[in-house]
Amino acid sequence: MKNKHMDAAQDAQRRSLLKLGLASGLSVGGLLSGCGGDSAGAAGNSAVTPPPNTQISSFALAVLPDTQFYSRYATSSESNQYERHYGNEPYAAQTNWVARNAQALNIPFLIHLGDVVDQVGKPEQWKVADSAMQVLEAAKVPYSILAGNHDVLNDIDYDSDPTKGTDTQRVLANEPYLQWFSARRAQRQATFGARDDTGFHEYHIFKAQDQQFLVLSLSWRISDAGIAWARKVLADHPTLPAILVNHQLLNIAPDAVSPLETGYGKMLWEKLIRDNDQIFMTLNGHHHGGARLTKTNNFGNAVEEMVVDYQMAYQGGNGLMRLYEFDLTNKQIKVLSFSPWVPMKPADTLNAFDRAVLTESNHSFTISMDFAKRFARFNPTFGVGKATVASSLIDQAKALVLKGYTEPAVAEPVLPKDTDDYPKVASTVAHWRFYGGSDGAAVPPGTRINDVTGANPLVRDQLNQGGIVGAAAGDVVWSNDHHRLSSAPGSVGFLNTDKNAPRLSYFLTDASAAINAQTFAATGYTIEAFIKINPAWDKAKHAWMNIMTRDGKRGNLAGFDGGDPESPPLLFAISSLREVQWEVVPAVSGQRDAMASWSGEIIAGNWVHIAIVNDPVTHDTIMYVEGAPVLRNSSNVVGLASLSASSPWVVGGGSWDGARADGFFGNIGEVRVAAAALPATQWLTARRS
């Protein structure tokens, strides 16, 4: 029996071929003979074999991971960083791309994974998000949205306290999310089903390729009442395949690739997912990077869990988003991670981090799924639908993104040839290289680390000074381990650090060292360090650990009126989220506060090179991690304040309220301080001329 849909597709193809033939001067007879007409054809022409019918039944879902930094750094209070540097903004670029291509790429729906903004109490950030999402509304592209932890006033994590911070414990009238993305606004979507009583959770039903799908979108920290609502939604639509969307569900292991289950995700699995066969797929953001986990539910069917979040990548995510193609014909889900914003950037701003398409296996992959078989228990009539799509939508999308765009060449870094293979710069104030002892041997207290300039050596302080308890000689050891681009053949390892003990060890300059008094206000500066966080890093023991600092309490600086007056005037540290913190009080007169730059998450166990560059003209400070400038930088920061000419620099430790604290846990390679804004060609990762 003939397939009438196939016949219709073939008829359409014949019409297209006829048009092509007439337009190009080809004989109509020659084309017709290839389509089952007179096999003799025109004189001198052989029969033409038609191309096979390769059309497929397929549709694509657009997915926006955490947009929080796009909302934040497009505001005037954050110096309109995107507009200022690139002339456009990533959030708007994402939604405009979807609006323009929704019809061509058969995109019936978009899913937002939460963390719409970064700071819930800043209306300016909500305005950015509001404007970007209005693009979809104007184009009649329906979407689901949810509140992430940054979008609610009380963002207690489930693992911290599973009983507090849920949707039912909020004062709903005070929540900005419900004011900007209300139920009334959600009702504008043609796909909208309903919201729960709190207004935080919603569901949608979209149609694609003659089939209906349900999207269940749940905001941060759902309560048992919310789960009961979600279960009723599923029960009320028992034949619909469901995609469960949360802000948090699946995490990513320290290797940055493998999936890692969370307590919250396990709770949702037990209370909502495992006995609801309709849920065949989950999506979440929150955890930085990408990973996938396949679990088996109570019915022996696969549930595909996926996490994606690019906020800690270059430029707060660099506009990266995802497209999920549901190829019903070929029984697979194809995933593309791409940035519609990168090709829009001015050519002179592009660097090796501006990748428009990601190709790594955790960002670009295919999931085999026999949809009819997977859905057979609750929807035995699920079909493939009409084959109306010319070719893979992922391939089409990739071609659209890359059209006219050439990704910048990635220069392969040159490894050092010897221990002296790095650029020497005349502006060097201090350069400490931590090597010289046997691998694993203790660095005895009192050991001096030479400064390459000869002016500012470091010394390992004696044990248990300034309130430290339990420190031992073996808490600092020599190591042959080092960053591959560091010409110094080793490092020092800081072991057994525990802020609760408090136990730590560190190095510091002499009280008479010349560097103690320097503020770099006129010259600017470049500070570099090679570090590796110990894989056993524990937030409870090691949060806010210091790579380097200057001693003293910043509250004692003249004119200081900021927070944490007990902190030192310089913090080069690792936060509770394993971000690099560069926070300094500028060397200016009058009223002043600390100014900060922040990296994304640093993966424990990986060596990274950090460079902090302060321009002496603009006084902008830019942090670079592995050569990539981070998004969260500070402007108009003049120099580095010092309490006195006898206040030492400290490597491997810090202080709080005058007592030694916040010791480093991991390895520190070499550290260099230069009184100039050095280009990358003069960093320690470059090679000598």
| Tens-place pLDDT, residues 53-77 | 689 999 999 999 999 999 999 999 8
Please calculate the CA angle 188-193-199 and round it to the nearest 5 degrees.
80
* Secondary structure (3-state) at 681: helix
Q: For 671, phi and psi rounded to 5 degrees?
A: -130, 135
pLDDT in tens, 202-249: 999 999 999 999 999 999 999 999 999 999 999 999 999 999 999 999
Residue type, 329: T
DSSP string, 402-417: HTT--PPP-PPPPPPS
Q: What is the pLDDT of residues 269-293, one digit of tens each?
A: 999 999 999 999 999 999 989 999 9
Decide which of 48 and 655 is more confident.
Answer: 655
Q: Which residues pair with 526 in a beta bridge?
A: 613, 674
Mean pLDDT over 487-498 rounds to: 98
Q: How far apart are CA 657 and CA 552, in angstroms?
A: 8
What sign does the dihedral 551-576-583-484 (CA atoms) show?
positive
What DSSP character marks residue 474? G
Answer yes or no: are the C-beta atoms of 558 and 587 closer than 8 Å.
no
DSSP-assigned letters across all residues of 558-608:
TTB-SS-TTS-SEEEEE-TTSEEEEEE--S-SSSB--EEEEEEEPPTT-EE
> What pLDDT score does 7 carry?
37
> Which is nearest to 272 in space by CA: 218, 309, 308?
218
Q: Strand (E) positions, 415-475?
A: 428-433, 448-449, 458-460
Burial of 365 (0-12, 13-18, 19+ CB in 10 A): middle
SS3 label, residue 648: coil
Phi and psi, residue 213, nearest 5°: -130, 150
H runs (alpha helix) in 390-496: 393-402
Residue 78, token pair as written in the block: 């954050």
Q: For the chain, how are helix, strand and coil distributed in percent, rounded to 5?
A: 20, 25, 50
The pLDDT of residue 17 is above 70:
no
Position 616 scores a pLDDT of 96
**Structure confidence at residue 52 as a pLDDT band (50, 70, 90):** low
Q: What is the average pLDDT across 524-544?
A: 96
Residue-wise pLDDT for 496-518, tens only, equals 999 999 999 999 999 999 999 99
Rounded mean pLDDT of 642-663? Answer: 96
Which residue from 468, 480, 402 is spatially nearest to 434, judged by alpha carbons? 480
Closest CA to 297 of 378, 199, 384, 356: 378
* pLDDT score recorded for residue 408: 82
Q: Whole-structure pTM over 0.75, yes or no?
A: yes
Identity (one letter) of the amino acid at 418?
D
